[in-house]
Amino acid sequence: MFENLQEKLSRVFRALTGKGRLTEKNIQEAVRQVKLSLLEADVNYKVVRDFIEVVKEKALGEEVLKSFTPDQMFIKIIRDELIRIMGESNEPLKLIHRPSPIMIVGLQGSGKTTTCAKLALFLKKQGRNPILVAADVYRPAAIDQLVKLGSVVNVPVHTGDRKNPFKIVESAIEHSKDTGYDVMIVDTAGRLHIDEEMMDELVKVKEILKPDEVLLVVDAMMGQDAVKSAKTFDEKLDLTGFIVTKMDGDARGGVILSIKYVTGKPVKFIGVGEKVDALEPFHPDRIAGRILGMGDVLTLIEKAEKELDQEKMRKSAEKFLKAEFTLEDFKEQLEEIKKLGPISSIIEMLPGAPKMDPEMGEKEFKKMEAIINSMTKEERRNPRIINYSRKKRIAKGSGTTIQDVNKLLKSYEQMKELMKRMKKGKLKLPFGIKGFGF
């Protein structure tokens, strides 16, 4: 999502890198380029104006001009200000009552109904006992869609009479009290655009529900139109926060950088894919790191801890450090890493990692898997026996070329060499390798 902005800011920082000292002229030009980059990323003009004023004031201060590393000081200022406009830290849900009602609102096409299911799964993994409430009676098949999603995440869906949203919400409140559910996630009516009738209905639903949270689902692809809609929803419903969807798309990033500043309400979650588990708590500092090309190792660690088989990873790590890591272990690692999502999104979280075409990344990943799957158990355990005729057979069986097989084997040999150097203490272990083994 932030690829263009990241690229443009990188150019600004590269222009400053290596200069013994920064002058006022250097900084003025850098600030001008940052301003243009943000405007091109569809960030709200008022946000950009305030952002640039603060950056310029701090960058022209003595702390930067007299610093031994002025370029790094400038990057730090940009990072601090990005965090400031997006919100200082993650703001978790405030679930006070039991059952705790969460009212989900938004325009049609923003991913509102799917987000309800994602949120239910997220809360379920946290030990909560949620129920979904289908109160969108206008969009054709909206209720059926929620029922289907509920079965996917294994969360019950209350549909009531399927006709009257107020009766559906009232019956859901009683049903939740009687059955012991501790969170109610209510999917409300949306339209293609904001209208008075819809807003009046949402206000009435809110009065009946008395929700702990009123969350607006915002489509990142809508740009500044989404920010304008957010202001209107907030004026009518006094929102408690936002869930920004389609963060895995090619939107320019303006919504996530503008919405908190414009409304004063925090982004609480971001949708990072179509699957039901593709919902993450929003951490401004981590997003700032991604924008500046610093990666997001903390989110990667959290994903790994949740999704990966820790026992398998521990055993692989031990084998890796003892230089006993075979292609069979490597195959097992690939299967585990696939659980973290697309390989391109994993690479994006690593600091300084090269950009990867999502399609190319997945293609290479599948190619490696196919090659290893085409080997016999003996070949995977002892790749040294793979001669030319075996390579031909493996290439044919995996739909690849002998060059592809050679490339994989070469990578494996380089990994073995890395293990030996680690074992002899000639190479320091990267931070966290003990915990992951990859």
* 96-119: pLDDT as tens digits: 998 999 999 999 888 999 999 999
- pTM metric for this prediction: 0.71
Give the list of residues 6+ apart from residue 227 with CB closer than 8 angstroms, or none.
44, 254, 255, 258, 259, 262, 263
Residue 281 φ then ψ, to 5°: -60, 145
Q: What CA–CA distance (Å, rounded) separates 144 from 391?
A: 51
CB-based contact 252:223 (threshold 8 Å): yes
Query: What is the CATH code of the structural domain delimited by 100-292?
Result: 3.40.50.300
Q: How confident is the model at residue 341 (pLDDT cuts 50, 70, 90)?
A: low
Q: What CA–CA distance (Å, rounded) separates 164 from 135?
A: 8
Please determine, for residue 41, whether its predicted confidence score (pLDDT) is greater than 60: yes
| Amino acid 431: pLDDT | 35
Q: What is the mean pLDDT of residues 148-158?
A: 96
| Amino acid 179: pLDDT | 87
Please determine, for residue 429, whether its predicted confidence score (pLDDT) is greater than 50: no
- 182: helix, strand or coil: coil
Higher pLDDT, 95 or 306: 95
Q: What CA–CA distance (Å, rounded) separates 241 from 258?
A: 13
| Amino acid 435: pLDDT | 34
Q: What CA–CA distance (Å, rounded) separates 65 from 82?
A: 21
Mean pLDDT, the chain, as a whole number? 82
Please determine, for residue 213, whether its predicted confidence score (pLDDT) is greater than 80: yes
- Confirm whether 3-86 and 100-292 share one CATH topology: no
Higher pLDDT, 347 or 3: 3
Strand order in the sheet with 157-158: 157-158, 130-134, 183-187, 100-105, 213-219, 241-245, 267-271, 279-281
**Which class does domain 301-436 fall in?**
mainly alpha
Please determine, for residue 308, whether its predicted confidence score (pLDDT) is greater than 70: no
Q: What is the mean pLDDT of residues 344-360?
A: 54
| Amino acid 209: pLDDT | 95
Q: What is the mean pLDDT of residues 374-385?
A: 89
| Amino acid 298: pLDDT | 54
The model's pLDDT over 220-258, given as tens digits with 9 standing for 90+, comes to 888 888 889 999 999 999 999 999 998 876 666 788 899
Q: How confident is the model at residue 152 (pLDDT cuts 50, 70, 90)?
A: very high
| Amino acid 104: pLDDT | 97
Q: What is the mean pLDDT of residues 323-338?
A: 72
Query: What is the CATH code of the structural domain delimited by 3-86?
Result: 1.20.120.140
- 215: helix, strand or coil: strand
Higher pLDDT, 67 or 186: 186
Q: What CA–CA distance (Å, rounded) separates 415 from 323?
A: 9
Q: What CA–CA distance (Å, rounded) separates 135 from 39?
A: 38
Residue burial 364-379, b: 16+ Cβ < 10 Å; e: rest: bbbbbbbbbebbeeeb
In the chain, where the domains are located = 3-86, 100-292, 301-436
The model's pLDDT over 271-285, given as tens digits with 9 standing for 90+, comes to 988 889 889 999 898
Placement of tokens 């009602």 in the chain:
101
- Residue 359 DSSP class: H
Please determine, for residue 157, whether its predicted confidence score (pLDDT) is greater than 50: yes
Residue burial 24-63, b: 16+ Cβ < 10 Å; e: rest: eebbeebbebbbebbeebbbbeebbeebbeebbebbeeee
